[in-house]
Amino acid sequence: MSNESSLSVITTLCKRRGFIFHSSEIYGGMPGFFDYGPLGCEMKRNIKEDWWKTTVRNREDVEGLDATIIMHPDIWKASGHLDTFSDPMTMCKACKKLMRADQIWDIFADSDAGQSLQKVLDESNGEAGKIVAWCKGKAKGQTPNLPAVLNADVLTAAYEKLNADAASYADLKSLYTLFFNAKNSEQKISPCPHCGGELTEPRPFNLMFKTVVGPIDDEKNTAYLRPETAQAIFAQFLNVLATSRQSVPFGIAQIGKSFRNEVTPRNYTFRSREFEQMELEFFIRPDEAVELIYGKVTTLADNPDLTTPEDAWGWEVWHRYWVTQRKGWVASCGLPVDSFVESVHEGDDLAHYARACVDLEYRFPFGVQELEGIAARSDFDLSQHQKHSGKSMEVFDEPLKLACKKMDDAAKSAFMDKVVADWTACGKDEAVARAFVARLFEGRYIPHVIEPSAGVDRMMLALLCNAYDEQKLVDSKGKEDTRLVMHFQPRIAPIKVAVFPLVKNKPEIYNKAREVFEHLRRRYAAFWDQSGAIGRRYRRQDEIGTPWCVTVDFDTMEDGTMTVRDRDSMEQKRMTLDELKVMMDEALLV
Ligand code: GAP
């Protein structure tokens, strides 16, 4: 199955079984907006609930927050979103299509022409003639101005070069990269991925949705739908600190909607305009404060045990700890560890204020793409809010104050000199370094932060892609059949258990099955199905990933046991209701 078709089987299943619909579908839909149907909203809740339990309830050092979507516009000035949260946008002068200038390649790969060239490549078997035929035939009719079509000779030469290299595989991206790099194609190409037309100079396009607060539509009343949930956490940092009895290191977590006016929403729900985030801001001491209190800062070079946080950890270890925690959670939701990779931001990819950022990337059908990011953001965010709001974002750290009280003047002066030397060596201002250390000696600093930031919709898409399975089965009479099954982790599955009466026309069996169903549905998301053969009922549940099906039959009347069928192994066991609940509780525990 090609990547494109494997995404399309997921979208078809999602529509057919009520996981995901296009928003406003009866009016033609809106690109980048999706609704979650009966099963989709259950599954999405399970993902959020699982994240919340793991990140907030099961920890003593994280508090929750549920802030508004619309906030004071100055927040977005302070955070930098008003000035810099933009994508480079370009327009084709010929076909007038708008697109992200940094996604030209991906847009081509997704386009009809890109897909048809990929198909030719898949079937070409080393025959360059097929590429020429494509340029002169189908593609010429579809997109006559496309660079690849206008330059059949250059494209064919690139194809032959790619094929001659035994180590490479003639995929679309390698072919197009070679094509664009070919010297003689440079003057001939016009780069619109749709039609080959000339593109305008890229211009920054701010991704925040604007709205108006109150009845008067003027500049003063302009507000924005939040493009991330994180900023509310920084804005409420002091309130949460004052009311929660936490002290640094501790975190604040939030789940909620975010909005980005993406220029080209793509790949189903992967890049949407309205989506949900699950974000944690975990506040830590600056390394200099750790050093003053504990006399040392644990770094990764010390090979620390990352299972339980320790007081002397520096930012680098905290960052690695959260990367490890997040990977553990992603895997616990059912994504195999070899299906996602760490991608480390380096050079220009790393924001100027960030010390490190690691993305967890999942192998989606359309390529390896970001699932979530874990960034070490220094004290940038709280410092910005301090500067713009005029409110001090410093915390008072009692152990720090006590540690500094014990230092004599010589020790303080040596520490000051060391920090000033370190900071100035990195190009920072000496006066700022001195002021920072002076505040440390008083027990005060602005906390640094580690930010694990995940998308609910992306996680759900990854779990849907991973769960999808078409199994070829042969029955006892040798008849072949295909079983479509979604192997969701039971905690994530939208329905946990389905209850069937073996027959619906025997009142005692029917009533007993109803009784079991009514009992189970109070604890778990349960489904009642009385129609059709049992085999067909199993298949309907397999398609939506229900881990257990329970059939009440004649034996239930005798000994109270029911047939419990496991979705993945298809094994059937007899169990009492109590045994079933113990087994389910064990499997569903976070
Ligand atoms: N506060 C940091 C932040 O928002 P980000 O990398 O822009 O960082 C974090 O977003 C996560 O939010 C991403 O890893 C992704 O899972 C999700 N996300 C971002 N933009 C999205 C979009 N347009 N559609 C769906 N999910 C998105």
Question: How would you write the pLDDT of the chain (590 residues) with one tens digit per residue?
Answer: 444 458 999 999 999 999 999 999 999 999 999 999 999 999 999 999 999 999 999 999 999 999 999 999 999 999 999 999 999 999 999 889 999 888 888 888 888 888 888 888 888 888 888 888 999 888 888 888 888 888 888 888 888 888 887 665 667 878 877 887 775 555 445 578 888 888 999 999 999 999 999 999 999 999 999 999 999 999 999 999 999 999 999 999 999 999 999 998 989 999 999 999 999 999 999 999 999 999 999 999 999 999 999 999 999 999 999 999 999 999 999 999 999 999 999 988 888 889 999 999 999 998 899 999 999 999 999 999 999 999 999 999 999 999 999 999 999 999 999 999 999 999 999 999 999 999 999 999 999 999 999 999 999 999 999 999 999 999 888 999 999 999 999 999 999 999 999 999 999 999 999 999 999 999 999 999 999 999 999 999 999 999 999 999 999 999 999 999 999 999 999 999 999 999 999 999 98
Structurally, at CATH architecture level, domain 7-80+216-394+448-459 sits in 2-Layer Sandwich (3.30)
181: number of CA atoms within 13 Å, CB side?
Answer: 10
pTM of the model: 0.90
DSSP structural state of residue 198: P
Classify strands 572-575 and 98-100 as parallel, antiparallel or unpaired. Answer: unpaired
d(CA 210, CA 468): 38
Helix (H, G, I), strand (E, B) or coil at 209: coil
- How far does residue 221's CA lie from ligand 1's centre (Å)? 27
Contact indicator for 529, 538 with CB cutoff of 8 Å:
no
The per-residue b/e assignment along 213-222, b for 16 or more CB within 10 angstroms, e otherwise, is: eeeeeeeeee
Q: What is the pLDDT of residue 5?
A: 54
CA distance 504 to 530: 6
What's the pLDDT at 2? 40
Burial bucket for residue 406 (CB in 10 Å: 0-12, 13-18, 19+):
exposed
Closest atom of ligand 1 to CA, residue 262: 23
Q: Which residues line ligand 1 (CB under 6 A)?
A: 228, 230, 260, 262, 271-272, 275, 277, 279, 370-373, 451, 453-455, 457-458
Fold of 495-588: Rossmann fold (3.40.50)
For ligand 1, pick from 458, 459, 460 the residue to mutate: most ligand atoms within 8 Å of CB.
Answer: 458
Question: For residue 260, which atom of ligand 1 is closest to its CA?
Answer: 23
Which residues lie below 8 Å from residue 506, measured CB to CB, with a gap of 6+?
none
Name the residue with the closest Cα to ligand 1, atom 12.
455
**Residue 366 contacts residue 375 (beta carbons within 8 Å):** no
Place of tokens 């000696």: 441
Instruction: Give the per-residue pLDDT at 185.
Output: 52
CA-closest residue to ligand 1 atom 10 = 453
